[in-house]
Amino acid sequence: MRKLLVATHNQGKVREYRALLAGLPLEVTYLAAEGIAAEAAETGATFAENAISKARFYADLSGLWTWADDSGLAVEALGGGPGVFSARYAGPDASDADRYRKLLDALAAVPWAERSARFCCTVALARPAAEGGLVETADGACEGVIAFGPAGEHGFGYDPVFYVPAYGMTMAQLAAEVKNAISHRAVAAAAAVPLLHRWLSGS
């Protein structure tokens, strides 16, 4: 069975993608499992640029088909920020809680009607240069509102403060199977899966 490298050190993402890709004839592996400690530079101005850069870097390093994503939070009241800097919003060694608390502080005076936000994700699929170096991308988004405080024990990142109006709760309060159906990563993954089917079929 062909391996697909998910280019992340984030175990939350690994679990989500394994669930999302469970129906494909692929062995889903990840950086630590392959003994890869190298960090790809994330210098792009967009989620797509970062995802493509990571996918190419790890595909060539590992010799494996590689699935990389770049995702983050775009808050309307912050002009689309923190955007590509979502993971580094509160500094390089900050925890998830540090990041969402900084976000809540930045929005402290912003009323509910102006707290709209979206999670964005671009998935990039890359073949190593030895196999032609093909790269294809797929995008996904999930609309929501930044809550006034955290709620929920599930998920990771900004999930505790990302309120999903259609469900009346934060992303961190949703059951995993619900989140895996509506999240920005789920939407991008659903768009990427047909690309993998095509690759696997050799077309």
Domains of the chain: residue spans and CATH: 2-201 (3.90.950.10)
Mean pLDDT of 97-108: 97
Q: Place 42 in a pLDDT band, splitting at 50, 70 and 90.
A: confident
Q: Place 168 in a pLDDT band, splitting at 50, 70 and 90.
A: very high
Tell me which residue of 48, 43, 110 sits closest to 76, measured CA to CA.
Answer: 110
Q: Does the pLDDT value for residue 202 go beyond 90?
A: no
Mean pLDDT of 104-128: 97
pTM: 0.88
Q: Which residues are catalytic?
A: 70
The upper half-sphere exposure of residue 173, i.e. CA atoms within 13 Å in the direction of its Cβ, equals 15
Question: Which residues, other chains included, contact 58 with Cβ-Cβ below 8 Å and sequence gap of 6+?
Answer: 5, 7, 31, 36, 40, 64, 66, 68, 126
Q: Does the pLDDT value for residue 74 go beyond 90?
A: yes
Tell me which residue of 90, 77, 99, 78 sits closest to 156, measured CA to CA.
Answer: 99
Q: Place 20 in a pLDDT band, splitting at 50, 70 and 90.
A: confident
**What is the rounded CA–CA span in Å between residue 54 and residue 191?**
19
Helix (H) or strand (E) holding 30: strand 26-30
Amino acid at 186: A
The backbone region for 121, taken as left when phi is positive above 0, alpha when psi lies in -120 to 50, beta otherwise, is beta
Q: Does the pLDDT value for residue 85 go beyond 60?
A: yes
pLDDT at residue number 203: 55
pLDDT at residue number 145: 98
Q: For the segment 119-133, what is each residue's pLDDT rounded down to a tens digit?
A: 999 999 999 999 999
Mean pLDDT of 20-41: 91
Average pLDDT, the chain: 94
